[in-house]
Amino acid sequence: MGALMENFDIHISGGTIVDGTRVPRFKSDLWIKDGKIAKIGGRTSASSDRTIDATGKIVAPGFVDLHTHYDAQIRWDPWCTISGYHGVTSVVLGNCGFGFAPVRPDFQERSMLTMTRTEAIPFESMKQGMDWDWETIPEYLDSLERIPKGVNVIQYMPTASLMTYVMGLEKAKAGEPANQAEREEMARLLHEGMDAGLCGFSIQRLGENSVQADYDGSPMVTDIMCDEDILNLARVLSDRDEGFIQITQGTGDIRSDIAFLEKLAAVAKRPILHNVVAPSRQDPEVHRRPLRWIDKCWDAGLPVYAQCGTGRAGFAFTLEHWNLYDASPAWRAVTTGTKEEKIEKMKDPELRKALVAEAAEADRRLQVIQAGVGGNPKGLVVQGVNRQANLQQYVGKSVGDIAQAEGKHHVEVMLDLSLAGDLNVEFLGPDKGSNASFMAEMMNDSPYAIPGVSDGGAHTKFFTGGAYTTDFLTWLVRDEGVVTLEEAHYRLSALAAHAAGFRDRGTLKEGSAADVLVYDMEELEILPNWIGDVEYDLPGGEWRRVQRAKGYKQIIVNGEITFEDGECTSATPGKLLRHGSAESI
């Protein structure tokens, strides 16, 4: 009785609780004390410092965003927005093998240059916003623990950084296998990192024509990493019986890719987070095929999860910053380098000829990417023309229509307009609609499908995937009614937390961390929809695209309110979750 008479920090009264476990929603009160959920249901005569009237509102666990690139941004934005605006209370850093540790002091700038291209993070923002006070992974984690955080974070070992640190950039770039001494050192450093609290390691392996290349246009070192060097790291997780692997594998040989992923899961004996499964608008086999394969993996004892692309954010881009045509050698050549170098390349007759000649092949190479940016470039719509009066006639017209009217190839139209507008002509991938039934099928039928992929913190000038959580609730649950509220919160929180090794997050239960959302389902909205607004809120005077959220009444992290009615409270209660937990293991 004495414990019940203690004061609580927060009392959430009269809400409808959806606890993340798939238990049917129920009306109840919830009390928070000392960063944890102290009591759910019943009555108490104890007082609370703050009472939140949640009548008519949903009370649910905070969302877990598994695929982000906030590694730099968290240094100047503790809440990891835009994910933080949309109910995300925990994020995973170090995805795709990219990050900033381990790193030697003389390689810091090169690490940032890599991220300017492969994840399209502004260089000046990183240069001004990051205070490098680490070299090793343990030092990096200590630094991450020290800085203010408005969300909880866990960290993968970024394999590209590890390879470069041990092998040197030149050898790693050459695609040469590590020698025995280098393999032993990489394994030792991964052990050291796991001891310090890493949750595993991550890799992007997309082959020579990677869609996310390095800043000089060459593949990322992991893109051409050999099997044995990856399996060497997998054995570390197997030996420890802990950790997880996030991998984006797509070398162009699907049979080889599948065989390797199965071998990786067998060697590691640990969960694999496979990126990415996304449905098309018309062909159900696009998502059914990989999900059937994942079912077979589990039947064979291979724990493979599908990180699914469920968001509907649009793309609006200029050729000054665009990098997602990098799978095309001709496009990669033209869009690599400084702005001045890009302009000269776009004027070069031979490079232009190569682009036109490669157009059909580029469409084949890029069909998956182009599906997310409006399909074939002919369908892109000119949205902005650098505020130039002489180009206003093109606004609202498609690249294909302009090409037909002017007797040009559509690639030439993109190049000529971009040159005329100082590379600031903006192309929009129009919303062609999405298939809610296919999305629901992935979420309702596969036990291993996790919604996402936000890519939060990356591609900041043309993508706003961090709003995927709000989109999931408003679109699939509220508007279409094809996913239940209970299923949605299980997928967005509990399953995501389980798959990535969060030990004390993802559900609402007594004793668990108080990462809690209070929201009004009818008011929930993404502002603005599709491509977001431009905001100049990055260090160095840089801008990004932002989508804010309406309808989240309170976002609570470790028992403290970080956002209330869309406004940041400036509270930074987030924690580094070593080994997936804020508690000592």
SS (H, E, C) 301-369: CCCEEEEEECCCCCCEECCCCCCCCCCCHHHHHHCCCCHHHHHHHHHCHHHHHHHHHHHHHHHHHCHHH
C-alpha 64/C-alpha 61 separation (Å) is: 9
| Cα dist from 17 to 14, 40, 181, 286, 507, whole Å | 9, 9, 54, 35, 11
Q: Which of 79, 77, 119 is nearest to 98 (CA)?
A: 119
C-alpha 374/C-alpha 383 separation (Å) is: 13
C-alpha 522/C-alpha 519 separation (Å) is: 9
Tokens representing residue 25 in the block = 């929603």
**Which amino acid is residue 205, in one-letter code?**
R
In this structure, are residues 37 and 514 in contact, taking their beta carbons and an 8 Å threshold? yes
- What's the pLDDT at 213? 93
Judged by DSSP in three states, 284 sits in coil
Instruction: Reply yes or no on domain 63-314+433-483+509-568 having CATH 2.60.130.10.
Output: no
Q: What pairing do the DSSP bridges indicate for beta strands 36-40 and 26-33?
A: antiparallel
| Cα dist from 499 to 101, 132, 164, 413, 502, whole Å | 24, 31, 28, 45, 8
Domains 8-61 and 63-314+433-483+509-568 in one fold = no
CATH class of 8-61: mainly beta
Query: H-helix or E-strand containing 561?
Result: strand 560-564
Q: Give Cα 227 distance to the centre of its chain.
A: 25
- What's the pLDDT at 165? 98
- What's the pLDDT at 363? 63
C-alpha 69/C-alpha 276 separation (Å) is: 16
Q: Please, which residues have CB within 8 angstroms of residue 393's CB and are 6 or more apart in sequence?
A: none
Please identify which residue in the block is written with the tokens 């969960």: 271
C-alpha 414/C-alpha 412 separation (Å) is: 5
C-alpha 59/C-alpha 276 separation (Å) is: 30
- What's the pLDDT at 432? 85
- What's the pLDDT at 3? 46
Residues in the chain: 585
Q: Please, where are the H alpha helices in 169-253?
A: 169-173, 180-196, 227-240
- What's the pLDDT at 360? 73
Q: Which of 403, 399, 407 is nearest to 425 (CA)?
A: 399
Q: Which of 334, 352, 310 is nearest to 476 (CA)?
A: 310
In this structure, are residues 456 and 465 in contact, taking their beta carbons and an 8 Å threshold? yes
Q: With 0-12 CB in 10 A as exposed, 13-18 as middle and 19+ as buried, what is 363?
A: middle
- What's the pLDDT at 374? 62
In this structure, are residues 201 and 272 in contact, taking their beta carbons and an 8 Å threshold? no
String of DSSP letters for 453-491: ---BTSSTTT--GGGHHHHIIIIIIIIS--S-HHHHHII
CA atoms within a 13 Å half-sphere pointing along the CA-CB vector of 348 = 16
Along the 585 residues of the chain, how does pLDDT read in single tens digits?
Answer: 344 457 999 999 999 999 999 999 999 999 999 999 999 999 999 999 999 999 999 999 999 999 999 999 999 999 999 999 999 999 999 999 999 999 999 999 999 999 999 999 999 999 999 999 999 999 999 999 999 999 999 999 999 999 999 999 999 999 999 999 999 999 999 999 999 999 999 999 999 989 899 999 999 999 999 999 999 999 999 999 999 999 999 998 999 999 999 999 999 999 999 999 999 999 999 999 999 999 999 999 999 999 999 999 888 999 999 988 888 899 999 999 999 999 999 999 999 999 998 887 766 656 666 666 667 889 999 999 999 999 999 999 999 999 999 999 999 999 999 999 999 999 998 888 899 999 999 999 999 999 999 999 999 999 999 999 999 999 999 999 999 999 999 999 999 999 999 998 999 999 999 999 999 999 999 999 999 999 999 999 999 999 999 999 999 999 999 999 999 999 999 999 999 999 865
Judged by DSSP in three states, 65 sits in strand
| Reported pTM | 0.96
Q: Please, which residues have CB within 8 angstroms of residue 205's CB and are 6 or more apart in sequence?
A: 222, 223, 224, 225, 230, 247, 248, 249, 250, 251
Q: Give Cα 58 distance to the centre of its chain.
A: 25
Per domain, the residue ranges of the chain are: 8-61, 63-314+433-483+509-568, 333-428
